[in-house]
Copies of this chain bind each other. A is one copy, B any other.
Amino acid sequence: MSKYKYLKEQVYEANMEIPKEELAIVTFGNVSGIDRAAGAVAIKPSGIPYHRLRPEDIVVVDLDNVVIEGSMRPSSDTKTHTLLYKSFPSIGGVCHTHSTYAVAWAQAIRPIPNLGTTHADHLTAAIPVTEVMSDEMIEGNYELETGNQILDLFAAQGLSYEEVEMVLVACHGPFTWGKDPAKAIYNSVVLEEIARMAYLTLQINPSAGTIKQSLIDKHYFRKHGKNAYYGQE
């Protein structure tokens, strides 16, 4: 039996949320999870439709993107996932989808402003969007550079990956992460809804703007940090 059986099942379950939550059509999304002790990342195989995916199809790679278990080719986005794992030491899962509203903001190359408490419940900042990648980066090690583009953005804006667990890659779409694969896909669900609400809000009132800092802080810290009182923990 595979020593990665539990991880592969977790990653399988998280991938199956993509079609269930309507976050991508056909094959346009993938979730991974990491076993930090083993240095092993389990990820969806490339190009397999969700309705044909089985737990045993999940591919395991090391942090250098070498397949260590599985007969299929891993997701073409694997290098982006592994770079995020290497750079964000406390995360356990990464998710990439082409969910419709998040993609629309990414294609519009616009950050999603914090327009209400649904957003503030999850992060205080606007949901950031990367710069358009240079030709050199695109024509080079593209999927690795996609990860670098995210890292550069977080560095330039002074964002914490532990607070901001989501990003839009310009002209492409969203990446999200979290403590485990389930949290990564949860963040993709939340991002898509925030993206849709923000779209509609600005259609109704084009001058709607970022809500006040006290309201952002109230909602964010109701759910996060030592004084949180939302939920059961």
Contacts and interface: CB of A to CB of B under 8 A. Distances in A.
A65 interface: no
A215 B171 contact: yes
A26 B190 contact: yes
Contacts of A46: 229-232
A57 B81 CA distance: 38
Contact of A103 (B108, B197, B232): B197
Count of this chain's copies in the oligomeric assembly: 4
B118 A173 contact: yes
A40 interface: no
Contacts of A232: 45-48, 72-73
Nearest to A229: B76
**Of listed A103, A138, A204, residue having the most chain B CB within 10 A:** A204
A213 to B, nearest CB: 8
Contacts of A76: 222, 229-230
A212 interface: yes
Contacts of A189: 25-26
Interface string A99-138: 0110111111110000111100100000000001101001
A5 interface: no
B138 A215 contact: yes
Interface string A167-185: 0000111000000000000
Interface of A: 25-26, 28, 45-48, 72-73, 76, 98, 100-101, 103-110, 115-118, 121, 132-133, 135, 138-139, 142, 171-173, 186, 189-190, 193, 196-205, 208, 211-212, 214-215, 218, 222, 229-232
Given A100-B196, A108-B201, 7 more contacts: A26-B189, A47-B232, A100-B197, A104-B204, A109-B205, A116-B173, A132-B215
